[in-house]
Chains A and B, each alone.
Chain A
Amino acid sequence: MMKKPKIWLGLGAVLVLFIAGVWVGRIMYKTQSTPPPPPTFFRSSLAPDTAGASGDQVITPVSGTVIEVRDGELIQAAVAQARSGDLIRVYPGTYKETVYIDKENISLQGMIQDGKWPTLDGEKELNDALLYSGNGILIENFKIVNYKGNGVMGQAGNNFVIRNNWILDAGVYGIFPEFGKNGLIEHNILTGIEDAAIYVGMCDNVDVRHNEVYGNVAGIEIENSRHVLVENNHSYNNTGGILVFITPGLPIKTCYDVIVRNNFINDNNHVNFGAPGSLVAGIPSGTGILVMAADQVTIENNIITGNNNAGITVTDLAYGANTANDPEVEPNPDRLIILDNIMIDNGNSPVGELKALMMTKLSTRGPDIVAVGGGTGSCIVNRDRYRTVSLGDWAQCQATDTRAIQTYMLDKPVAPRKISKKERVKMAYYGICSGCHAYEVRMVGPPTLVIQALYQNNPQGIADYIVKPEHKRKDFPEMPPQKYLSKDLRLALAEYLLTVKQ
């Protein structure tokens, strides 16, 4: 089994070179259509600024104003004054702060001038550089160095763009959107990250493309996410190049429909410097692509070379995970599709369990592709080109390419939940006001019936009162101001309160 006639090796090498040549040719001469631009709903923020400044990196906001931040000022101060649709431009300089954006539709744009970047510097004192929770956040053109937590972290927040950032030694994760739908991570350079440089965790519909990740524990990690395209990235000299995972114990339990395509994944032989106990701490050095428990992962047209453990590793959770089991997770990688990839020079010095497995095959080299543990319905094309282990029941693929998928981003932004004015008013009236005001009986404040009598035909009076209450009646406690309700909602609430009948 292990020995093949030399003529095959020779033919194989010719074939490999031929395919490589065609592939390189396609890139160099751009005979293939270039990857699609960001979807049109981002385009409005991409039109060149007629005012000039510095060319095509400039963003004009959808609406609203441009707020400028210069060296010596705080970016957070600009965020504090920004409103939905505003663009914050940050000029070259060093900014030592944690910027948090708990607002919607804010674009944060660095201005690179004469090769000088706006730099966020955590000095190994600050936790995270950029945190966001709102929808429609764009972050670009920042250099981020010396943080302890994350470079860019999103907690929820749909319709995000994170690009053209240069992130060095920024802690645990470089770029980490979590719980987001519809996003783009492109043209970032990341190195020195102790877990995953780019980590898409519990997200849907994300493209990760044209990024350069090197010298991290994990280059790109797609975890418990769906509809993710990882394309045209260069991932090298990490411990593991590209990982597609289900991690047990998370509230969203699946990972499927992921395409890993047209990436360079080479020499991922960095010593593992992950924190003890972290999920990536167990990844063997020399891992090109690792698929753990995820389903429907397509691996196509990648150049996977010089990864000393194995080119592609497929594993279930029993083999791969070092955490507590999760009864709600299906632990096997199922229905994977490995299409044509260029794989040379992988497995030069396998380690750990793989080394032991190879010994049983009388080999000291690691394979191009290995699958361990459970899983069904997977397939591969042209398997004879590669040195494979344990792919016994993998079928020959019917699929030939993923050309039909240009992007997994949506063609329209994720819309806010549709709520009628009446529904929203009821959420506020019953969700807040009813805590103190019942219809006819006294609770904390006067009954709704009494308020209705006092403010007949005067909803504005109520709307004004609830934001700035005066203590009018000694037999009732003073009402706290309800400033967190928007002006519109306050008036709508007042109008609704006057119509309540029970």
Chain B
Amino acid sequence: MRFLQFLPGTFSLLLLPIIVLTQRPESKPIELAENCPPGFELTDDNRCMSRSLYQQYPSLRNSGVGGLKTGLPKVRDGFSPQQIDLGRYLFFDPILSRDGSLSCASCHNPELGFSDGMTHSVGINGKEGSRNAPTLWNVSFMKSFFWDARAKTLEEQMEGPLFAPHEMGTTPNQLLSTLNSLPVYQRLFAQAFPDRTDEKIRLKEIYTALTAFECSLISLNSRYDHYAHGYHEALTKQEIEGLNVFRSFVARCAECHTPPLFTNQQIAVLGTPEPDGRPLDPGAEKIFDDATMRGGFKVPSLRNIAKTAPYMHSGRFATLRETVEFYNRGRGHAVPQDEDLRIHWHISEPNLSEYELDRLVDFLKTLTDETFKPRVPEKLASEAESVHNSNVRKMGK
């Protein structure tokens, strides 16, 4: 494993010229951005509004689902550049966790498609979570959060990982006292929330800033998108074959992973297997108190899916090829014998050929676009070290 330790060193040497050219002097105090991140236009009243070519198109009943030239679901935008940038500093800062060992980016690492590459995320003190970390790309278009759809807003969502004992494990009080004890954060919060009269950082502001940053993670410029906008040379012949398998009524992928976001945002019961030794995850059944929804999970977006292995709520499948094979193996083939799940009607037995499965994977890889990937702060406001890449190293062991 020695070469693994050697690699980062080589990389940083290679990157050195770029870093030297791009880095601003370290000594300068942190200032929040006055401009919007890519993908947004700044309005006269200092709000960042999302812009994309998909805004040219309508969608039936404004549902945000359809075909190639279909409008997106309603987007959450309008945050100020300062709020978005403050959110970026918070997102990468491990002081948001109880023991300073984890940041949001530990499980939502920009280098890993804003997920973490692990089957189940690991919280503070090495405590194992129960599900695979979902990507944050394009969350600004989502109507519900968590695999079981239990949160309706990002603000509501983040209370989960921040305060869950097996995730970041902090408390509202600890969070507020930590941030309020740091003059840099007090100054930055005052910049991002200029309307208040006192110096005190509020919980709601932390949520707003993190939400603002998460809503800036837009990925809509993949090669698939170039095809969708009418440039058909953007995809190879084999990738187009894959697109046609994807939307065919044999594979039926597009019926739930509907363009343009590649999710219809519904709950579906698939009957995917849990990792060995784990019991069946009841999913949405618990949230909605409805036995017909047992084993139901939110249909995830497939944008940047090639970056976010492993797959499914359980992280059970390591590769895209394994994942598409699941759908080819027959309705309910992985459901435990003592379970009677209401498997989704589109889970059938498509009998796709090996060739078609390969083309499907080819197509899924065209949904990758990370051109708006945000920069990791060179220096954190708390002066803590970034920790999210130490998580990546855990994978290698």
- Residues of A whose CB lies within 8 Å of any CB of B are 80, 98, 100, 102-103, 127-128, 131, 133-135, 148-150, 153-157, 171-173, 176, 178-181, 202-204, 249-252, 275-279, 322-327, 414, 416-417, 419, 423-424, 426-432, 434-436, 438-439, 442-444, 475, 483-486, 502
CB of A251 within 8 A of CB of B266, answer yes
Q: Tell me, yes or no, whether B331 is within 8 Å of chain A by CB.
A: yes
Expressed in whole angstroms, the Cα–Cα distance for A439 and B34 within the complex equals: 11
Closest chain B residue, CB of each to CB of A150: B249
Taken together as a complex, chains A and B put the C-alpha atoms of A179 and B60 apart, in Å, by 6
CB atoms of A417 and B233 under 8 A apart: no
Closest CB in chain A relative to B279 CB, distance in Å: 20
**Interface check B336, CB cutoff 8 A:** no
Query: In the complex, A428 Cα to B230 Cα: how many Å?
Result: 14
Q: Assuming the A-B contacts A134-B69, A484-B234, are A429 and B56 also in contact, with contact meaning beta carbons closer than 8 angstroms in the complex?
A: no
Q: Given A155-B67, A426-B41, A431-B221 in contact, is the A325-B60 Cβ separation under 8 Å?
A: no
- Given A173-B249, A327-B290, A427-B52, 6 more contacts at CB 8 Å? A133-B69, A204-B60, A204-B61, A327-B288, A431-B51, A435-B39
* Distance between Cα atoms of A103 and B53 in the complex (Å): 17
B268 at the interface (CB under 8 A from A): yes
User: Does the CB pair A419–B244 fall under 8 Å?
Assistant: no
- Distance in angstroms from B270 CB to nearest chain A CB is 11
A-B residue pairs in contact (CB < 8 Å), sample of 22: A98-B244, A133-B67, A135-B69, A155-B247, A156-B66, A179-B66, A202-B60, A251-B64, A251-B65, A252-B65, A277-B332, A277-B343, A279-B345, A323-B344, A324-B290, A325-B293, A436-B38, A444-B371, A483-B226, A484-B225, A484-B231, A484-B234
Q: A150-B249, A250-B264, A419-B55 are in contact. Are A133 and B68 (CB under 8 A)?
A: yes
A149 with B249, Cβ < 8 A, contacts A427-B53, A502-B35 known: yes
B267 within 8 A of A: yes
Q: Are B230 and A484 in contact (CB under 8 A)?
A: yes
**Contact: B53 with A431, CB < 8 Å?**
yes
Q: Are A251 and B265 in contact (CB under 8 A)?
A: yes
* Nearest opposing residue in chain B for A180, CB measure: B60
Tell me which of A127, A326, A486 contacts B230 (CB under 8 A).
Answer: A486
**Chain A: which residue is nearest B37 at the CB level?**
A434
Contact yes or no, B22 A442, CB < 8 A: yes
- Tell whether, in the assembled complex, residue A417 and residue B265 are in contact, meaning their CB atoms are under 8 Å apart: no
Residues on A with beta carbons closer than 8 Å to the beta carbon of B301: none
Contacts of A100 in B (CB 8 A): 240, 244
Q: Are A249 and B266 in contact (CB under 8 A)?
A: yes
Residues of B within 8 A of A486 (CB): 230
The answer to whether B152 has its CB under 8 Å from any CB of chain A is: no
Let me know if B334 is at the binding interface, CB within 8 A: no
Closest-CB distance, A254 to chain B (whole angstroms): 9
CA distance A486 to B230 in the complex (A): 9
- What's the nearest-Cβ distance from chain A to residue B209, in Å? 21
Which residues of A sit under 8 angstroms from B39, Cβ to Cβ? 430-431, 434-435
B185–chain A nearest beta-carbon distance, Å: 24
Summarize B's interface: helix, strand, loop or mixed: loop
How far, in whole Å, are A361 and B258 apart by their CA atoms in the complex? 47
Encode B210-234 as 1/0 by CB contact (under 8 A) with A.
Answer: 0000000000110001111111111
> Bound complex: CA of A128 vs CA of B241, how far in Å?
12
Q: How far is the CA of A324 from the CA of B293 in the complex (A)?
A: 5
Q: How far is the CA of A123 from the CA of B186 in the complex (A)?
A: 70
Q: C-beta contact mask, B241-284 vs A, less than 8 Å → 1, else 0? A: 00011011111001000110000111111000000000000000
Contact residue among A135, A427, A484 (Cβ-Cβ distance under 8 Å from B56): A427
Q: Which residues of A contact B265 (CB under 8 A)?
A: 251
Complex Cα gap A156–B264 (Å): 14
**Residue of A148, A178, A181, A326 most packed against chain B (CB within 10 A):** A178
Contact B371 A251 (CB under 8 A): no
Interface positions of B from 37 to 60, Cβ below 8 Å from A: 38-42, 51-53, 55-60
A435's partner among B221, B231, B296 (CB-CB below 8 A) is: B221
**A475 contacts B21, C-beta separation under 8 Å:** yes
Q: Are B249 and A324 in touch, CB under 8 angstroms?
A: no
| Contact between A323 and B342, CB atoms less than 8 A apart | yes
Inter-subunit contact B51/A429 (CB<8 Å): yes
Expressed in whole angstroms, the minimum distance between the Cβ of B140 and any Cβ of chain A is 13
Residue of A nearest to B55 (CB): A427
Q: B348 on the interface (CB 8 Å rule)?
A: yes
A167 CA / B266 CA spacing, docked (Å): 32
In the complex, A98→B244 CA distance in Å? Answer: 8
Per the bound structure, the CA–CA distance linking A174 and B64 in Å amounts to 26
Looking at A153, A154, A157, A484, the one whose CB has the most chain B CB atoms below 10 A away is A484
- Across-interface contacts of A428 in B (CB, < 8 A): 53
Indicate which residue in B259, B293, B345 contacts A277 across the interface (CB closer than 8 Å).
Answer: B345
Q: Write the nearest CB–CB distance from A314 to chain B, whole angstroms.
A: 22
- Chain B residues positioned under 8 Å from A203 (CB to CB): 60
Task: Point out the residues of chain B lying under 8 angstroms from A435, CB to CB.
Answer: 38-39, 221, 371-372
Q: Once the chains bind, are B56 and A424 in contact (CB under 8 Å)?
A: yes
Among A80, A251, A417, A438, the residue within 8 A (CB) of B57 is A417
Residues of B within 8 A of A475 (CB): 21
Q: Does B63 contact A (CB under 8 A)?
A: yes
Contact B251 A430 (CB under 8 A): no
Chain A residues near B35: list those with CB within 8 A.
Answer: 438-439, 502
CB pair A172 B249 closer than 8 Å:
yes
- Provide the residues of chain B in CB contact with A133, threshold 8 Å: 67-69
List 6 A-B pairs, minimum CB-CB distance, nearest first: A156-B67, A484-B231, A156-B66, A149-B249, A133-B67, A430-B51
Give the Cβ gap from B112 to chain A, nearest Cβ, in Å. Answer: 20
Minimal beta-carbon separation of B101 from chain A (angstroms)? 32
Max count, chain A CB within 10 A of own CB: residue among B254, B269, B332, B342: B342
Q: Which residue of B is nearest A133, CB measured?
A: B67
Contact A431 B244 (CB under 8 A): no
Does the CB pair A324–B60 fall under 8 Å?
Answer: no
Is there contact, CB below 8 Å, between B221 and A324? no
